[in-house]
Structure 1
Amino acid sequence: MPATLTGRAAILRETGIKTVLETIPVRKQPSELLPGECIVKLEYSGVCHSDLHFMLGEFAPPELPCIGGHEGVGHIVAIGEHTVGSRFGVGDRVGVTLYLQTCMACEFCRSGKEQYCLNFKLLGIGEWGTFSEYVVAHVDYLASIPDTMPSAVAAPILCAGVTVYSALKNGQSNVGEWIAISGAGGGLGHLAIQYALAMGLRVIAIDTGEQKKNVCIALGAEKWIDFKESSDVVADVRSAADGVGPHVALIATGTNLPYVQASLYLRPTGRLLCVGLPSSPVNGLLLTSIAVRGIKLIGSTFGNRQEMVEALALVARGKIKPHFEVIPHDKINTVLEQMHMGELVGRVVLKY
């Protein structure tokens, strides 16, 4: 290795969606790594809508300068001295995910819900993320990529895939039930369609545009509703699900209206899976209607390490096929602008 390891990075220096490409030293050099830490040289990184939220300061002001991204696939080039019991070694191909580290001691970590740990460190939020050629991670939180899976295919599963898989797995669904997926043609939504089908659910896809419609139908959605063409989305969704409404709704878009609509079209005792992250309070939720019909609101974020294994395994078996486009890393600003405008179909994966 060179005396100082450097790589190209897309750096955010001011709040917004414009990054600056620079060659910079890795945040920690190999000799500076603590036990358990490692450096991964990335081949690919997915681009997540939550990256955009944080870059725009919609959740909290970003700590500048920063580097976003948390869906990286690459090879380990260095591991901290005195690391003990690692599953991985130098040269191994791994996935780098949102959770850089959790305490592994609190009730949430002990019960397999480490994504709700109160003492976590997140990649791309505070800690520099995968929009860089090199990233510092922790060996305990790396994902093992099945040998038969191409790196670009694995990248979208490391956040988008495991997030919707975890929500569906914990959504108390039964085989044969109807599920409505808002944002079905997007990065999370098109994967939610496939994981829902793998669990035996019947899918109503909600999105807009002919291209997204074609993708959703090709993936196996039974019903399609274009929210821009529909004069009454609530009535149309109810009609598509036996006239009563779906048993489950999964919101895979970060806007408010789909949450309000879902609370109205779900059948009694239906479950509303809250996955998409609106940047402002959701006005219009009628709590009386939710209460008298027994609607359950179920929040879900990311997934635990076992769910990561399961989500990747379904891809390796050919049950899930991410729909994505590979774009050069230096085109990241164009990708972010398209995402902000809602123009992306499926997922974008950056190539280094």
Structure 2
Amino acid sequence: MANEQIPKTAPAVVFEKINGPIVYKEDHPVTQPQDLKPGEVLVKIECTGVCHTDLHAWKGDWPMPPKQPLVGGHEGAGHIVAIADGTTTTFKVGDAVGIKWLADSCLNCENCRMGAEMTCSLAQCHGYTVDGSFQRYAVSYARHCTPIPDGLPLEVAAPVLCAGVTVWKAIKEANCKPGDWLVVSGAGGGLGHLAVQYATAIGLRVVGIDTGDDKKKLLDQYGADAFIDFKNFRDEGALIKEVKRVCGGEGPHAAVIASAGGAAYNDALEYIRPHGSLVAVGLPPDTDIKANVFWTVFRNVRIIGSYVGNRQDAIEALDFALRGKVKPQIVTEPLKNLEDVYKRMESGGIPGRIVLKC
């Protein structure tokens, strides 16, 4: 089922091997409607965010390697242009949808039934185990596409589909109540600046940790109660003391670590208050959390891994954006700029999020 002529080829960015050349192609093959398998849809991608996970996929620095060759990307927003015959879905051709990190899961196992679809043993991930959104036409799965509400621009929806969903889920995992202190480490980045907004929207007091005047200005704009530039605290323990001081002397009730640097994790274990929570989100390579068992028990602290969100989390995350409570800081660029975006991302020089037009 399709409502337009689907071209045989279209633009895409592909790498053939880990750390290999990143190639922009004008003539990448497009899956035709008759070749879709039951349950699949073809989405014409209009824009796609660029996530640090995409950089990890290309560099291959996670324990499990991605498929190769690979079209990366998992923050795609566009319209369904074809639905496979035999597919049961409420979606129609022409509907605006998002394709996110979690591409598919079985929906039948215990994890899926509990709403933990991301830990399904059969889960597939866009831009990692299956091709993703760095292309004009992407194959996705009807049961895991996210409906994008009317009135929400696609370039705004795109980064919410991963960065927004991920931090909204992490904040829910932190189990804070209005008025509690929440620290966001990596607060000026693609995930962090959205975490600050979700947290303030539900009445938390937020401290952002990052570096640079541009990121401070960004977080001031989004209502952060305080900003701590970690580069101003080089003496051992100085940053931990400052976080505690800012958060009423005892430290925050929770910390969401969106930073790509490993040191942020062990710092957080030192500055969260008793009964506090450390929510692990950022994935720096080769990083261990070193938690002393005695003090972890004695202070009743919790260490929680939070890995993206489920279908309902995605709908909730988009609703904040629709209501104007969360607004990604975005810069739009053409798809062919992806390699340069990766370079800037590695240097830590991107406040907010880059969204590529496909």
Q: Give your verdict on TM over 0.5.
A: yes
Task: State the one-letter code of the partner of 1:103.
Answer: C
1:130 aligns with 2:130: no
Aligned to 1:318: 324
CA contact (8 A) 1:183 1:207 kept: yes
Match of 1:67 among 62, 67, 71: 71
> What is the DSSP-based 3-state SS (H/G/I as helix, E as strand, rest coil) of the residue aligned with 1:39?
strand
Q: Within 2, Cα distance between the matches of 1:206 and 1:310?
A: 26
Match of 1:31 among 10, 16, 34: 34
Aligned to 1:278: 284
1:217 aligns with 2:223: no
CA contact (8 A) 1:17 1:336 kept: no
Q: 1:139-288 residue pairs with structure 2 within 5 A?
A: 139-231=142-234, 232-282=238-288, 284-288=290-294
> What is the DSSP-based 3-state SS (H/G/I as helix, E as strand, rest coil) of the residue aligned with 2:231?
coil
1:18 Cα deviation after fit? 4.5
Task: State the one-letter code of the partner of 1:82.
Answer: G
Aligned to 2:111: 108
Q: Within 1, Cα distance between the matches of 2:313 and 2:119?
A: 14
Match of 1:298 among 294, 297, 304: 304
Q: Within 2, Cα distance between the matches of 1:126 and 1:267?
A: 39
> What is the DSSP-based 3-state SS (H/G/I as helix, E as strand, rest coil) of the residue aligned with 1:8?
strand
Q: Could you tell me the percent identity over the aligned residues?
A: 42
1:191 Cα deviation after fit? 0.3
Task: State the one-letter code of the partner of 1:120.
Answer: A
Aligned to 1:83: 87
> What is the DSSP-based 3-state SS (H/G/I as helix, E as strand, rest coil) of the residue aligned with 1:159?
helix
CA contact (8 A) 1:124 1:130 kept: yes
Aligned to 2:51: 48
Structure 1, residues 242-294: CA drift from partner, whole Å, max 9, x if none? 11100100000122100010000011111001111121132644343323211
Structure 1, residues 36-81: CA drift from partner, whole Å, max 9, x if none? 2111111100001011112111113333211110000111111101
CA contact (8 A) 1:26 1:135 kept: no
Q: Within 2, Cα distance between the matches of 1:33 and 1:75?
A: 16
Q: Within 1, Cα distance between the matches of 2:251 and 2:198?
A: 20
1:138 Cα deviation after fit? 0.8
CA contact (8 A) 1:165 1:192 kept: yes
Task: State the one-letter code of the partner of 1:299.
Answer: G
- Give aligned pairs, total: 351
> What is the DSSP-based 3-state SS (H/G/I as helix, E as strand, rest coil) of the residue aligned with 1:206?
strand
Q: Within 2, Cα distance between the matches of 1:90 and 1:3?
A: 13
1:23 Cα deviation after fit? 3.0
Task: State the one-letter code of the partner of 2:101.
Answer: L
CA contact (8 A) 2:332 2:356 kept: yes
C-alpha distance 240-3 of structure 1, shift in aligned 2 (>3 A): closer
Q: Within 1, Cα distance between the matches of 2:271 and 2:68?
A: 42
Q: Within 2, Cα distance between the matches of 1:304 and 1:176?
A: 26
C-alpha distance 278-285 of structure 1, shift in aligned 2 (>3 A): farther
C-alpha distance 262-61 of structure 1, shift in aligned 2 (>3 A): same
Q: Within 2, Cα distance between the matches of 1:182 and 1:2?
A: 47
CA contact (8 A) 1:4 1:25 kept: no
Match of 1:336 among 313, 326, 342: 342
> What is the DSSP-based 3-state SS (H/G/I as helix, E as strand, rest coil) of the residue aligned with 2:228?
strand
Q: Within 2, Cα distance between the matches of 1:314 and 1:63?
A: 34
Q: Within 1, Cα distance between the matches of 2:22 and 2:28?
A: 17
> What is the DSSP-based 3-state SS (H/G/I as helix, E as strand, rest coil) of the residue aligned with 2:336?
helix
Q: Within 2, Cα distance between the matches of 1:319 and 1:271?
A: 25
Q: Mark the runs of 5 or more structure 2 residues left unpaired by the alignment.
A: none
> What is the DSSP-based 3-state SS (H/G/I as helix, E as strand, rest coil) of the residue aligned with 2:152?
coil
1:184 Cα deviation after fit? 0.2
1:339 Cα deviation after fit? 0.5
1:312 Cα deviation after fit? 0.6
Q: Within 2, Cα distance between the matches of 1:101 and 1:301?
A: 15
